[in-house]
């Protein structure tokens, strides 16, 4: 989840810079299309993901088993958002499958940079219970992650914050706070939840109301975090008593006995997904990989290795309760949180992000 931030920061500032991206892409290359024969292309599939522990989990849970079953080898590249768009617009994408967040997949659709999906070729999406919002024309969801409220368990006596209203209650839960900076969408939804807006009435966001509520806590916000591990570090040092965080990033600290906890109530869910770039050299193998990755048992294997929740509900039949409790898409967590409205944020991105940046600097 921390790696998602690398592309998201560029995404939030707009598409822009395509010429620079194209130049960088020409210097970065892994395998180029001109260097792959048709026969080789049919046996090698180039997947773009953001690497790190996420990439390694995909290798073990998805790519290696897929290769053993099909004989198709997987090569992984990690092109940035602008590089990807530049390559596609040149008609020479150096990747066959995109593994990126759903916000980017919708943007790529708007840019005409991805292929419409033929869901008839994705049999594991049929009657699988995948949320309709993740079955978009040019992208299909593959995993859930979430932003949640985290806190020190030794900070508030016997009390523990159980909602964003508690996070905003400086009288009952005194101490410094942290909120997310420019690494992802501004956390306006949390302010509205703290002010009593129901989960199912968040959108369209009342931006003026949200910033008014944000003002109430601004004096106690010590910092705005900019990378996935930072909230856990801030809490562990005692620099803040409560913060927003990406849920999976606290697991290693909790495993070492750190006095930390997090709360799923009011969690903001987002998703990663698959798409096929316009001009992909190997769409047949791309469809095979995407369909393979949506098998319930494969989804479960991935969730054991990386703390993102499956999009296929049947995957939970392969997971233990001790694993499922940490995932954003367990049934209970689905009820207590909400899905970020991608369309609303895309429509309002520029104006709200500018206002957010000004607010954080006051």
| pLDDT tens for the 362 residues of the chain, in order | 544 444 555 555 444 333 333 333 333 333 434 345 444 556 899 999 989 999 999 999 999 999 999 999 999 999 998 999 999 999 999 999 999 999 999 999 999 999 999 999 999 999 999 999 999 999 999 999 999 999 999 999 989 999 999 999 999 999 999 999 999 999 999 999 999 999 999 999 999 999 999 999 999 999 999 999 999 999 999 999 999 999 988 888 888 899 999 999 999 999 999 999 999 999 999 999 999 999 999 999 999 999 999 999 999 999 999 999 999 999 999 999 999 999 999 999 999 999 999 999 98
pTM tops 0.85, yes or no: yes
CA distance linking residue 305 with residue 327, whole number of Å: 12
**Is residue 142 a contact partner of residue 305, using CB atoms and an 8 Å limit?**
no
CA distance linking residue 218 with residue 60, whole number of Å: 43
DSSP, res 119: G
- 101: phi then psi, degrees, rounded to nearest 5: -75, 155
- Could you tell me whether strands 309-310 and 139-152 are parallel, antiparallel, or unpaired per DSSP bridges? antiparallel
Residues in CB range of 324: below 8 A, 6 or more apart: 316, 330
- 173: phi then psi, degrees, rounded to nearest 5: -130, 75
**Is residue 328 a contact partner of residue 269, using CB atoms and an 8 Å limit?**
yes
**Is residue 359 a contact partner of residue 188, using CB atoms and an 8 Å limit?**
no
CA distance linking residue 268 with residue 342, whole number of Å: 12
Cross-strand partners of 73 = 44
Cross-strand partners of 141 = 273
3 state SS of 42: helix
DSSP, res 138: T
Question: Distances in Å between the alpha carbon of 44 and those of 114, 180, 292?
Answer: 20, 39, 16
Residue that the structure tokens 């759903």 belong to = 102
**Is residue 308 a contact partner of residue 181, using CB atoms and an 8 Å limit?**
no
């Amino acid at each position: 989840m921390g790696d998602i931030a690398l592309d998201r920061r560029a995404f939030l500032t707009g598409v822009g810079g395509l010429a620079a991206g194209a130049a960088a892409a020409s210097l970065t290359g892994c395998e180029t299309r001109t260097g792959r024969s048709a026969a080789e292309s049919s046996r090698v599939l180039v997947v773009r993901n953001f690497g790190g522990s996420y990439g390694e989990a995909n290798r073990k849970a998805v790519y290696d088993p897929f290769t053993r079953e099909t004989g198709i080898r997987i090569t992984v590249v990690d092109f940035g958002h602008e590089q990807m768009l530049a390559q596609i617009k040149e008609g020479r994408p150096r990747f066959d499958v995109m593994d990126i967040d759903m916000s980017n997949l919708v943007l790529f659709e708007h840019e005409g940079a991805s292929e419409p999906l033929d869901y008839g070729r994705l049999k594991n999406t049929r009657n699988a219970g995948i949320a309709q919002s993740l079955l978009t024309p040019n992208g299909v969801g593959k995993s859930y992650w979430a932003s949640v409220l985290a806190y020190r368990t030794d900070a508030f006596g016997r009390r523990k914050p159980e909602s964003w209203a508690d996070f905003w209650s400086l009288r009952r839960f005194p101490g410094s706070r942290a909120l997310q900076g420019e690494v992802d969408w501004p956390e306006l939804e949390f302010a509205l939840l703290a002010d009593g807006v129901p989960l199912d009435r968040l959108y369209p966001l009342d931006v003026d109301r949200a910033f008014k509520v944000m003002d109430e806590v601004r004096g106690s916000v010590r910092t705005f975090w900019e990378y996935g591990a930072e909230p856990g570090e801030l809490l562990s040092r005692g620099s803040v008593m409560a913060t927003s965080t990406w849920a999976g990033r606290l697991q290693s600290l909790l495993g070492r006995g750190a006095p930390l906890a997090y709360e799923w109530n009011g969690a903001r869910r987002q998703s990663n997904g698959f798409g096929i770039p316009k001009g992909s050299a190997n769409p047949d193998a791309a469809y095979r990989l995407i369909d393979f990755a949506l098998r319930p048992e494969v989804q479960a294997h991935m969730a054991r290795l990386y703390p993102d929740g499956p999009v296929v509900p049947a995957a939970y039949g392969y997971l233990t309760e001790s694993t499922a409790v940490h995932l954003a898409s367990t049934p209970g967590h689905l009820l207590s949180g909400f899905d970020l409205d991608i369309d609303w944020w895309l429509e309002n991105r520029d104006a709200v992000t500018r206002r957010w940046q000004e607010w954080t600097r006051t």
